[in-house]
Amino acid sequence: MKILFVADPLESFKIYKDTTFAMMRELQRRGHSLAACEPRELGWQSGGAVTASVRHIALTGDEERWFQAEPVLPGAPPQALREFDAVLMRKDPPFDSEYFYATHLLEQAEREGARVFNKPRALRDHPEKLAVMEFPQFIGPTLVTRDANAIRQFHVVHKDIILKPLDGMGGTGIFRVKEDGLNLGSIIETLNQHGAQSVMVQKFLPEIVAGDKRVLVIGGKPVPFCLARIPQGGEVRGNLAAGGKGVAQPLSARDREIGEALGPVLLARGLLLAGVDVIGSCVTEINVTSPTCFQEIFDQTGCDVAALFVDALESALAAT
């Protein structure tokens, strides 16, 4: 099969931990051909199809020069996305306006016959922090608001809270306010922008000391191991990008319950891969743009998450 990745620049990959690279490696191992482009290279013109200027690549096995691209001939036309057997949208957040526009181009490509994973409409319909609202039975006390007074009242009730922007990634913009309320007003002003921006507020979950667990759901089923991202030092954030330590571990009974409940719902909407973040027994986010942690789990447990993903991809393609 011919597989196109829509992703960040290949030159920026840190292949020792990159999940997209792990997918590519497993696909090539099975004999599939690889191509890549960036979202900025997508385009459409009336009367034609959604196209992209793509690079056909092969993995070399070398850590430094990890891929080799076929030369692109001068004047070579872009390729229609429908010419590929599958298109994998793996652009990292932030989910900004250009990401949003890219999902519309990818959805048009679907209308033309392309198979896109995760489905573009599902990406738009599942903002990663707000998606938890659909599953109240699995979340802790949570507030989404622009109202500064509502935030203050939530703090009065719950005393120890976490505040974060809805468009943050990698742990950016996350604040903890304890019972003393120190700097709450300033934090609200920073995140809320005087009522211009919505804020998510959650009761602080002390189980974060054991890690913010990434439970991967592939093809509607939870992967048997998760990655607990454990805060280091005095940090409250477990995100790897914020210095958290990743420790792979078997799913708990609660983790599995969550994965098995959410998995079929997400799959039915075209989300072949999702990353459910769990602290203690509570879901805090549902990541669908470009979930990671494949390599960390494989390196520590031997569970080949990339193989599970390619199994699910091949099954999805064979079913149509």
Determine which one of 214, 239, 255, 296 is catalytic.
214
Residue 221 appears among annotated catalytic residues: no
Give the position of tokens 């390619």.
310
Distance, in Å, from the CA atom of 37 to the CA atom of 52, rounded to the nearest integer, reads: 7
SS (H, E, C) 110-159: HHCCCCEECCHHHHHHCCCCHHHHHCHHHCCCEEEECCHHHHHHHHHHHC
Residue 41 appears among annotated catalytic residues: no
CB-CB contact of 284 with 290 (8 Å): no
Determine which one of 128, 237, 255, 296 is catalytic.
237
Determine which one of 212, 229, 239, 255 is catalytic.
229
Residue 65 appears among annotated catalytic residues: no
- Read off φ and ψ for residue 237, nearest 5 degrees: -95, 135
Determine which one of 18, 110, 277, 296 is catalytic.
277
Determine which one of 129, 203, 213, 255 is catalytic.
129
Q: Is the backbone of residue 229 left (phi > 0), alpha (psi -120 to 50) or beta?
A: beta
Residue 255 appears among annotated catalytic residues: no
Determine which one of 118, 192, 239, 287 is catalytic.
287
- Read off φ and ψ for residue 24, nearest 5 degrees: -60, -45
Distance, in Å, from the CA atom of 100 to the CA atom of 183, rounded to the nearest integer, reads: 34
Determine which one of 90, 164, 203, 213 is catalytic.
164
Residue 277 appears among annotated catalytic residues: yes
Residue 129 appears among annotated catalytic residues: yes
40's CB contacts (< 8 A; 6+ apart) are 98
Q: Which of 51, 52, 47, 55 is nearest to 24 (CA)?
A: 55
Q: Which residues are catalytic?
A: 129, 164, 214, 229, 237, 277, 285, 287
